[in-house]
Structure formats: C-alpha cells, structure tokens
Chains A and B, each alone.
Chain A
Amino acid sequence: DAMVIQNPRYQVTQFGKPVTLSCSQTLNHNVMYWYQQKSSQAPKLLFHYYDKDFNNEADTPDNFQSRRPNTSFCFLDIRSPGLGDAAMYLCATSREGEQFFGPGTRLTVL
C-alpha cells in the first residue's frame, strides 16, 4: 500500500532541458517536502508546502521550482538542469512529527 508515490523512479534528461518530477500521497497530510540527496550524503531540504503555503530554503537555487495543485500532488520542476543537479530527489509528507518518504526519483543529467 504505497503512501508516498514518486514518478518516474528514474529520469534521464539532457543538460539544460527542463524536467518535472512528480509526487503523490494517499495520507492526506498537509505538509509536503522535496529533498535532494547526493551520494553518501544526508537528504537536503529544498522547499516545503504547508497546505498551500510555499516555503523555500534560503540556499535552494532559483533553478528549482515547485507546484502543489492540490493536497495529494506536488511537483518539482528543474528549469535548466546542470550536471551538478544529478541526484536522488525525495518527496516526503507529514502532519505532525514523523515524515514519510517516497522511494525517490534518480535523476541523471547527460
């Protein structure tokens, strides 16, 4: 019973070509998060939505944008991917306390 679903699981894009990653949840949680995780590092928070309120981390590049059209869905848009953006992108949700993570999308930039 998947609770936080991410599609696709693997995404290959070309340098500079916009890409969108998607996340959906069946938990009806009001908070959704996007993290970037590079090899052998902890997840790094990019931004989160508290209901419809968007909150950007101070060091998140402008190249990263997000949309949350409804409670269940959240998208991560990378406008012009660079080689340094190759990473695992994790979506998470929470109501209070514990965050539930999706399986992640592995992004490769060629």
Chain B
Amino acid sequence: GESVGLHLPTLSVQEGDNSIINCAYSNSASDYFIWYKQESGKGPQFIIDIRSNMDKRQGQRVTVLLNKTVKHLSLQIAATQPGDSAVYFCAETHSGGYNKLIFGAGTRLAVHP
C-alpha cells in the first residue's frame, strides 16, 4: 500500500559494519523494484534496482535481495560509511511504459564513527 508513516524507523550502525535495510512490498503484480537514497534536503537518488526474474543483484558495496514468495526486499550495504547516512526508500512498480512508483515508508540509516 501507500506509505503513510509519520515516524521513520531508524537503523543505527557503526562505521565499517554491514547494514541491512528491509522492505515489505504490497503488490504481487509488481515486477520491478528500486532502492533510493535520500539525503537531507535532496531528491531521492537511485541506488540499485532488480527485476522480478532475479532474486539477487549486486552493485558496488550494495546488494539487493528479492523474495517474491513473502514479498520482501532488502538492501545490504557493505562496510557502511558516514556518507551512507540517509533515508532509504524501496519502491515497486511495473516495468515498461508509464510506471507509478509505490514507495515504502523509508528507513533512516545513521552511521556512527
């Protein structure tokens, strides 16, 4: 469903640790999923995406896992750095043509030195 939360869950990690941010999506018909990073005062920035025909995709220091059975998406950040501190949103949609993104509620990642 649509995001309605007023209080973002926060994940606090130590610099250098791995971070895992989780997201439950709502629509079984969604076939394209995106993770966005949003720093304070900025627009969402694309991090990584995955299509429903995959269950894992890796980027530079980031990995996205997709479990369609339980409609769950996760973002793993390796060796978390202070610059990773931001709000992370997952988003689901249909691929091709016009796509309405449905955003998750967001998770704030706080990285401590």
Tell me if B100 and A45 are in contact (CB < 8 A): yes
Specify which chain A residues have a CB less than 8 angstroms from the CB of B99 in the assembled complex. Answer: 31, 94, 96-97, 99
On whether A102 and B43 interact (CB within 8 A), knowing A42-B105, A97-B49, A97-B99, the answer reads yes
Specify which chain A residues have a CB less than 8 angstroms from the CB of B2 in the assembled complex. Answer: 42, 44
C-beta contact mask, A10-33 vs B, less than 8 Å → 1, else 0?
000000000000000000000100
Determine if A81 is an interface residue (Cβ-Cβ < 8 Å). no
- Report the separation of the CA atoms of residues A3 and B36 in the bound assembly, to the nearest whole angstrom: 17
Main secondary structure, interface of B, reads loop
Specify which chain A residues have a CB less than 8 angstroms from the CB of B7 in the assembled complex. Answer: 40
Residue in contact with A42 in the complex, picked from B89, B95, B97, B98, CB distance below 8 Å: B89
Specify which chain A residues have a CB less than 8 angstroms from the CB of B42 in the assembled complex. Answer: 103-104
On whether A101 and B45 interact (CB within 8 A), knowing A41-B5, A42-B3, the answer reads yes
- Report the separation of the CA atoms of residues A55 and B98 in the bound assembly, to the nearest whole angstrom: 11
With both beta carbons as reference points, the residue of chain A lying nearest to B96 in the complex is identified as A96
- Report the separation of the CA atoms of residues A44 and B1 in the bound assembly, to the nearest whole angstrom: 12
Q: Tell me how many residues of B have a C-beta within 8 Å of chain A.
A: 30
Tell me if A96 and B95 are in contact (CB < 8 A): yes
Tell me if A99 and B43 are in contact (CB < 8 A): no
- Report the separation of the CA atoms of residues A104 and B49 in the bound assembly, to the nearest whole angstrom: 22
Tell me if A40 and B8 are in contact (CB < 8 A): yes
- Report the separation of the CA atoms of residues A101 and B46 in the bound assembly, to the nearest whole angstrom: 8
Tell me if A90 and B44 are in contact (CB < 8 A): yes
- Report the separation of the CA atoms of residues A43 and B42 in the bound assembly, to the nearest whole angstrom: 12
B45-81 at interface with A (beta carbon < 8 Å):
45-46, 49
Chain B residues with CB under 8 Å of chain A are 2-8, 32, 34, 36, 41-46, 49, 89, 93, 95-101, 103-106
23 examples of A-B residue contacts, CB within 8 angstroms: A6-B43, A31-B99, A41-B4, A42-B2, A42-B3, A42-B104, A42-B105, A42-B106, A44-B3, A45-B100, A48-B98, A92-B43, A97-B34, A97-B49, A97-B95, A97-B99, A98-B49, A99-B34, A100-B46, A102-B43, A103-B43, A104-B42, A104-B43
